[in-house]
Structure 1
Amino acid sequence: MKQTISFLVVIFFSLTSAHAVKVELKDSHEVYKEFLMLSDFFGGIDPAKDQDILEAPNKGESKHYAHDWVRQLAENFGLSWAPSHYKGITLSRHDGLSTKVNAQDVVREYLTQHHPEKISGGIDVSIEASSQYLLLKGATEPKLTNFSWMGDQKFLVTFDVGGHEKKIKGCLSTMVLIPVLNKQLEVGSIIEKEDLEFKDFPSNKVTKNMIQDEKELIGKTLRRKSAKVGDMLSVHDIISPIIIKRGDLVTMKVETPTVVISTRGKAQGNAAIGQSVQVMNLESKRLIEGVVKDSQTIIIPVVGH
């Protein structure tokens, strides 16, 4: 039986060459073998130099390999991989009972071999989620029997799936780097920079509510448990953290270009920075609405300013 391969031992036998081999990190996908190879992580690996590097996850389980781990892997094997954003990869081990093949991977491999000019420069294959996976019994691979262009970067592909014909429509789409969670967070967690990495998504799948700038996520509170590792996050998945709570004593400020007036008040509700909240003036007992500036200050708007 093949012995477990130690990652440290493999590093000793890593690929060496005068010029680093340029590679691209693959999308997250499913694997079927007991051991992971370089080609499971990177596209552009010379088949003659491909090799096992570590044990795969247990059957039916997944493991996420974060950006820093992947970068170290590339360095150890003399590979040139230098993304401008944090990116990782999740590899899932097939359960051994059924076969679920990503049609996008099959079409991408076909185009790489037959039409490489079509998927260069940030262009990739996009297939609707409802048709994306091909299910087979056993470990039989689906066969791509026909590929035809339908114009405007759209295509129709025919698969032989266990003796049955299946036609799938798709298109080529510009890929957009989107910040995603690299670990599962609990609802109420504050999102930090190290909780994020970047992942490519087809531009036609990125809606106006999806967050494309990591600055809009860092420091925000996760509000939905449905937010999953590797999925795009929408403006509905997060809220600004509450920094003023009902009953907090705060400073109420009225600011104009020439005058600043301050007094003490008591917050009548919970609010985050930039949100409105009612506050009671401790001297007059009047309720006034203001905007939260920080954890101790509420700005009272001045009519006409």
Structure 2
Amino acid sequence: MDHVLSTHVCIQHRLTTVWLDRIWDAGIPAVEIFCARHHLDYRDRAQINELGHWFRDSQLKLHSLHMPMYSDDQWGRSGPNATISITELSKPRRQEMVDEIKRALEAAEVIPYRYAVQHLGVGGEEFDLRKWDAAFTALEELNLFAGQRGVEILLENIPNALSSGERLMGFLEMTHLRNGFCFDSGHAHIMSGIEHEWEIMRDRVKSTHIHDNDGKNDNHRYPFLGEDGNVNWRKTMGLLRERPGQYPLLLELREVPGIPKSIEAAAEVFRRLEELPSAEEERESRR
């Protein structure tokens, strides 16, 4: 499978070409950049242009951008008004959020990328059909804006009552939108389980977010390297290998003090995931 690393692993730092060099030097060929303004300030043309020049001369590929969750440069700590959600019921407020997402999508004019990963609501949000109407209105506008820049918006399963695999499929069936999915293994593990979510979402999956947790907390742990992760990676990789070429293996990890060389550790995780035997190899080994 193709390998991609999300810059979520260094999200506490301003994204510079030094980080991108480290990713390439670790043998990882592509990245997803997380749009958090203290990390990648998509409003800062100087930072965007600097990265654009670097990517034009680099073999490292930009696979996708994760759309912003907050409009401030403090990861939402400036207050609730900084939260970005396309399920916002107030039309003027939602339009402000849509415009903020557009500023991130505009990065494709300088640094071409294929996919934009978008949340439907925020963590823990309750289900409300009016929120589906709001999201439909927002996505109609965003899909057109993104498409004009060669970008496809993918909806991610996140831990709320709007974004399970079943609810996402229901949303697309109701609205007739054609968005693909970003399948998040850690979120599925917290929700109804990886296998159940995968069965529902797999036909539309075009990218992934791979990370571990204890089944309760969304802590984006490194597979194999954390003590509190309990995802069954042998079974999960068996599911992901069902459709070679449809999506990459994309790690979305959180920097932790116990793993000082975060990029190199991510490369080790890729190696160990790929070395897990397939079901057919296991059967052969038992003969």
- TM-score category (smaller protein): under 0.3
**TM-score where L is the length of structure 2:** 0.24
Higher relative contact order (CA 8 A, sep 6+): 2
Structure in which a larger fraction of residues adopt strand:
1
